[in-house]
Amino acid sequence: MQVTPGRAKRFRNETRIGLVRRARKMTRILAETYPDAHCELDFTNAFELLIATVMSAQTTDVRVNMVTPHLFAKYPTPEDLAAADPADVEEIIKSTGFFRAKTKSIMGLSAALRDRFGGEVPGTLEEMVTLPGVGRKTANVVLGNAFDVPGITVDTHFQRLVHRFGWTDETDPVKIEHAVGELIPKSGWTLLSHYLIWHGRRRCHARKPACGVCPLAALCPSYGEGPTDPAVAAKLVRTGPPS
C-alpha cells in the first residue's frame, strides 16, 4: 500500500458519520491486536495506583514497578506515607527521577486523603483532582482501573495517535478527551485508552512508526510516516512492556 493523493483526499473529505465509523472500526482492530491490554502499573488498590500514577511522570511504568513494592511495604496506607520521613521516601523513589517533587506530591496527597477523605481515595474526578499533584489524566487512570468508572487517559501516546488517526485536531488534553469521547461509546473509554497507549508504545512510535506492519494501515491518514516495507517495519515493533 502506498500513500496516494486519492487516499489522502478520502480522509480530508470524511463526513462526521464516516469518522465515527472509522474510529470505532479502528478500535475494534486494536482490541483484536491487543486483547490483553491493561494498565501496566502494578497495584492492589486505588491508593497504590494513585501513587504509582503520580510517580510515573517522566519515567517508565517498568521503573515505577521496580520501586513501588518497597515503598508500599514500608508505607502501605495514606496515613503511613503522610507521616513518613521525606528523605526516606526520596531515597526509595530516587530512580524514578524528579524524586523531590514527586515525594512532595505523594506525601501531600496522602495527607489530603487522611485529612479530607478518611484515608480513602475518592471515587469521583471532581474530588480526585483536588489532591496535590493529581490532574485529569491521573484521575482518569485511577477511576477507570480501580473504580471501573469509564475515563479517557490523554497521555503523550494517546495524543499522538488520535492526531495521526485524524480523530481530532484539538491540542488541549481536556478538549481531546471530550472530542474522542464523542466518537466512542462511554463504556469503552478505559479500554480505548489502553489500546492506544499499547499501540503507541509498541508500533506507532513518535519518531518512526512501524507503518508496514500496522493493522490500522488501511484506515490511517498518516500511513507512510514510518517505513512501509514490512521487513523493515517489523524490526521496529516492540513486544512486552517498554523498558
Taking residue 9's Cβ as centre, other Cβ atoms within 10 Å add up to 10
Decide: 214 and 204 in contact? Cβ < 8 Å: yes
How far is residue 195's CA from residue 144's CA, in Å, rounded to a whole number? 13
Pick the catalytic residue: 61, 155, 169, 235? 155
How far is residue 240's CA from residue 107's CA, in Å, rounded to a whole number? 31
What per-residue confidence (pLDDT) applies to 5? Answer: 52
Mean pLDDT by 10 residues, the chain (243 residues): 56 92 98 96 98 95 97 98 98 97 97 98 96 94 97 95 97 96 97 97 96 97 95 92 56
How far is residue 50's CA from residue 102's CA, in Å, rounded to a whole number? 12
How far is residue 112's CA from residue 65's CA, in Å, rounded to a whole number? 24
208 is a catalytic site residue:
no
What per-residue confidence (pLDDT) applies to 50? Answer: 98
155 is a catalytic site residue:
yes
φ and ψ at 214, to 5 degrees? -90, 130
Q: How many CA within 13 A on the CB side of residue 222? A: 19
What per-residue confidence (pLDDT) applies to 10? Answer: 73
Cell numbers for 148:
471501573
How far is residue 40's CA from residue 119's CA, in Å, rounded to a whole number? 25
What per-residue confidence (pLDDT) applies to 6? Answer: 53
Q: What is the DSSP string of 186-199?
A: GGGHHHHHHHHHHH
Pick the catalytic residue: 137, 148, 175, 186? 137
Going along the chain from its start, the domains and CATH numbers come out as 5-33+152-234 (1.10.1670.10), 46-146 (1.10.340.30)
What per-residue confidence (pLDDT) applies to 43? Answer: 98
pTM of full prediction above 0.85? yes
